[in-house]
Amino acid sequence: MKEFLKYNLLNNIVKKIMVLQYKLKSETRWKKYPGKDKLKHPVGRYDFRLLSEDKKKILADKGPYTKVMKRFRQIEFFKHRG
């Protein structure tokens, strides 16, 4: 039970530390990512980026979904490693 709670706590911390944003390639304004199901167009038509929770530090610069999510998983792995 303790391990489950520890994992759950770490998982919540990781979720709070990173913010995933998206925008259509033709737009200039970034929006908070609502999830793949709620996008109006295919994922390939959007740019994504990963920011810190306070939105002051860019963790993954503008790029395709797969590239940004790869960086997200790298960060998550190192958070859980310790």
Predicted confidence pLDDT, tens digits, the chain (82 residues)? 545 444 444 444 444 579 999 999 999 999 999 998 999 999 999 999 999 989 999 999 999 999 999 999 998 888 777 6
Rg (CA), the chain: 14
| Total-model pTM | 0.74
Q: What is the pLDDT of residue 20?
A: 95
Q: Are 67 and 44 in contact (CB under 8 A)?
A: no
Grouping H, G, I as helix, E, B as strand and the rest as coil, residue 59 is: strand
Q: What is the pLDDT of residue 3?
A: 52
Instruction: Output the six-digit token pair for 23.
Output: 């925008």
Q: What is the pLDDT of residue 7?
A: 47
Q: Are 13 and 29 in contact (CB under 8 A)?
A: no
Q: Which domain does 70 fall in, by range?
A: 2-81
- Counting the structural domains of the chain, the total is 1
